[in-house]
């Protein structure tokens, strides 16, 4: 595993835990943390030993969004950016959203505190979210004179519906744990001291299953979010063909079923 300046990465028994580590700033996204998230997501994507990933924050917050404290004033940038940078359609916000959403393995956000702006988008880009009454969400963009970015306009209405997403984006009001669970932003609502343990329990359940089937299932779920019904059915058939490309696991799942024991899956 690589080492990072602004986040911690731990891996054990197929589970990676990524902890944003700027607690003095509620894990706000400076360029260093953004670069580290992009890099660690690529590392996890290419690591066959990782079967699930948990994202969380150090200290009292999950991620408070973009760090504007050190923003360079317009017109004072030094040098000419590379041509690819000047022609980039995504910007850092798009790259961040892609890093989280396209990480390949199931992702779980352990919501230990506030998630605002792009930090909320990171949580929404994960497959599942575990939180408590101490979890707090705020879209933030409108109050900063911005429209949503970092994937929020894609993730939020798909999770809770257009009207409720519009409510949160247009009012920029705080959403706490119980309401977040009721709306569908949180998938598990537990006691504050149980957030990390519950996220780990979910990750272990995922990691115990055939990894190729899990990865194929995640791909099909994501792709079918934007497909018409018949195209989605055809895509499921394609997904099945990928899910069976681990012959040893196919034999093991059958043997485990017949012998009434947990399977031991290798991804091969």
Phi-psi region of 28 (alpha: psi -120 to 50; beta: other; left: phi over 0): beta
Structural domain boundaries enclosing 114: 7-71+81-207
Residues 225 and 189 in one domain: no
Residues 182 and 100 in one domain: yes
Residues 13 and 88 in one domain: yes
Residues 6+ apart with CB under 8 A from 223: 235
Residues 185 and 172 in one domain: yes
Contact yes or no for 12/50 (Cβ under 8 A): no
Q: Could you give the number of structural domains in the chain?
A: 2
- The tens digit of pLDDT for each residue in 138-148 reads 999 999 999 99
Confidence class for position 74, pLDDT limits 50, 70, 90: very low
The answer to whether residue 48 is domain-embedded is yes
Residues 113 and 175 in one domain: yes
Residues 96 and 176 in one domain: yes
Give Cα separations from 223 to 96, 150, 216, 226, 231 (angstroms): 19, 19, 11, 6, 10
- The tens digit of pLDDT for each residue in 31-57 reads 999 999 999 999 999 999 999 999 999
Query: Measured between alpha carbons, how far is 189 from 111 in angstroms, rounded to an integer?
Result: 10
Residue with tokens 């994202």: 55
Residues 153 and 226 in one domain: no
Residues 6+ apart with CB under 8 A from 58: 8, 19, 20, 21, 22, 23, 27
The answer to whether residue 123 is domain-embedded is yes
The answer to whether residue 161 is domain-embedded is yes
pLDDT of residue 184: 97
By mean pLDDT, which of 12-16, 22-26, 69-73 is the weakest? 69-73
The answer to whether residue 166 is domain-embedded is yes
Residues 224 and 200 in one domain: no
Over its C-alpha atoms, the chain yields an Rg (Å, rounded) of 19
The answer to whether residue 268 is domain-embedded is no
Per-residue tokens: 221: 């779920």
Residues 36 and 67 in one domain: yes
Residue 1 has pLDDT above 80, yes or no: no
CATH number of the domain enclosing 109: 3.90.226.10
The answer to whether residue 40 is domain-embedded is yes
Q: Point out the domain boundary residue: 163, 189, 207.
A: 207
Residues 177 and 141 in one domain: yes
Q: Point out the domain boundary residue: 169, 189, 207.
A: 207
Q: Which of 118, 183, 123 is nearest to 144 (CA)?
A: 118
Residues 201 and 224 in one domain: no
Q: What is the mean pLDDT of the chain?
A: 94
The answer to whether residue 67 is domain-embedded is yes
Residues 26 and 144 in one domain: yes
Query: Measured between alpha carbons, how far is 99 from 126 in angstroms, rounded to an integer?
Result: 10
Q: How many CA atoms lie within 13 A of 143 on its CB side?
A: 11
The answer to whether residue 28 is domain-embedded is yes
- The tens digit of pLDDT for each residue in 182-211 reads 999 999 999 999 999 999 999 999 999 999
pTM: 0.93
């Amino acid at each position: 595993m690589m080492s990072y300046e602004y986040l911690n990465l731990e891996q054990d028994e197929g589970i990676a835990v990524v902890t944003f580590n700027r607690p003095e700033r509620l894990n706000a996204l400076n360029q260093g943390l953004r670069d580290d998230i992009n890099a660690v997501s690529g590392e996890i994507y290419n690591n066959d030993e990782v079967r699930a990933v948990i994202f969380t924050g150090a200290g009292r917050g999950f991620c408070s969004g973009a760090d504007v404290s050190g923003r360079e004033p317009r017109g004072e940038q030094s040098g000419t950016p590379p041509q690819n940078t000047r022609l980039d359609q995504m910007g850092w916000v798009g790259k961040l959203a892609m890093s989280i959403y396209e990480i390949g393995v199931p992702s779980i956000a352990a919501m230990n505190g506030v998630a605002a702006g792009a930090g909320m988008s990171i949580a929404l880009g994960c497959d599942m979210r575990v939180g408590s009454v101490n979890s707090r969400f705020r879209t933030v963009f409108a109050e900063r004179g911005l429209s949503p970015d970092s994937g929020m306009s894609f993730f939020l209405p798909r999770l809770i519906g257009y009207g409720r997403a519009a409510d949160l984006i247009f009012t920029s009001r705080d959403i706490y744990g119980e309401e977040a669970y009721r709306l569908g932003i949180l998938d598990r609502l537990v006691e504050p001291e149980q957030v990390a343990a519950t996220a780990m329990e979910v990750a272990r359940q995922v990691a115990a299953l055939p990894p190729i089937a899990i990865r194929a299932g995640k791909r099909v779920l994501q792709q079918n979010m934007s497909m018409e019904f018949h195209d989605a059915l055809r895509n499921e058939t394609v997904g099945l063909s990928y899910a069976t490309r681990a012959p040893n696991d196919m034999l093991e799942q059958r043997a485990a079923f017949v012998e009434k024991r947990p399977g031991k899956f290798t991804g091969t």
